[in-house]
Structure 1
Amino acid sequence: MPFEPSTPGPESTRRGMLVGVGLVGLAGTLTACGGSKDDSSADASQGTGSQNGGGQSGGGSLGKAADIPVGGGKIFKDEKVVVTQPKQGEFKAFSAICTHRGCPVGSVSDGKINCPCHGSAFNVADGSVAKGPADKPLPSKNVTVQNGELKLG
């Protein structure tokens, strides 16, 4: 029996195309599940509107300093900032976007800023990582108190 090189027939070409299309679809699905730095769908699902009813940024008033509990904090979704009060009269502000996958943080409790996406937690005093998978602290922001009002600065 003489050797004949095989040439792809219509069946193998069609099969290869179907496998390729399936792999592309799988890659798209995996990418969608992975999250990203700009995860606007996660932000949208968290709702809109800051706790003070305004969407100011760049020096605008966030609300009353008295609304921030000592040892806790408050998330201002529109401004993408979380303000904490680690000790009486000491206010800190951090980005409200988790450094792991870019999800918005969801709560502040027990001295931690908590991300609901993958379980990361950050310390209210300095934004450092208290629990992974995040491995970078929340970036700090400037916040001041003027006449009892919190202002980003």
Structure 2
Amino acid sequence: MTSEDRAELRIDRRTALASAGVAAAAVTVAACATAEPSSGEVAPGTEVAKVADVPVGGAVIAGGTVVTQPQAGVYQGFSAACTHLGCSVSKIERETIVCRCHGSAFRFDGTVATGPAERPLAPRAVRVDGDRIVTA
């Protein structure tokens, strides 16, 4: 290889840094797209919580499902997948279900409290089976 050939293979610092930045962004986007658990359907009869674990006026997140009890003996289920980009909602804070990925929050009836999510959480049928709450 001649010195002229080697000179043609050199790239300047700006091009190298830009290329590295593009590569890093691509890896980050790919990781975000696949890092969160799937919110796919749960087989009917799968236990998602114990009745005693869901307080009246409260909620729990378990097994890809959010279970709320808006009034005594009434349970509602929702997919734990945030409707913004599909990350799993990850905590109950005050009276909301929070997605830490981008800050969306949902009320206990599944509706959006704060965005960037624009759609409510997808409903997931649940029922009481003895002391357990299971998917319907």
TM-score grouping bracket, smaller chain normalisation? 0.7 to 0.9
User: Please, what is the CA RMSD of the aligned residues?
Assistant: 2.5
CA-to-aligned-CA distance 1:66-114 (integer Å, 9 cap, x gap)? 21011211111xx211111112111111111222232221211332101
- Is there any run of 5+ residues in structure 2 with no aligned partner, and where? none
Equivalent of 1:75, from 17, 39, 61? Answer: 61
Aligned: 1:145 with 2:131: no
> Partner of 2:10 in structure 1?
14
Aligned-pair distance for 1:33?
4.0
Rounded Cα–Cα distance in structure 1 between residues aligned with 2:51 and 2:132: 5
Q: How many residues align?
A: 126
Counterparts of 1:71 and 1:152, CA distance in 2: 20
Residue 136 of structure 1 corresponds to 119
Q: Provide the secondary structure at the position in 2 that maps to 1:15.
A: coil
Residue 29 (structure 1) aligns with: 24
What residue in structure 2 maps to residue 124 of structure 1? Answer: 108
The TM-score with structure 2 as length reference comes to 0.76
Partner-residue secondary structure (3-state), 1:24: helix
Which range moves more in the overlay, 94-103 or 143-152?
A: 94-103
Give per-residue Cα distances to partners, 1:102-150, cap 9 Å, x unaligned: 222121133210112221100112x111101111211110100122310
Q: 1:36·1:101 contact (CA, 8 Å) conserved in 2? A: no
Checking the alignment, whether the CA contact within 8 Å between 2:65 and 2:78 is kept in structure 1 is yes
Q: Rg bigger for which structure?
A: 1
Structure 1: which 5+ residue stretches go unaligned?
1-8, 44-56
Distance 1:129 1:122 in 2: 4
Contact 1:71 1:110 in 2 (8 A): no
The one-letter code of the counterpart of 1:65 is V
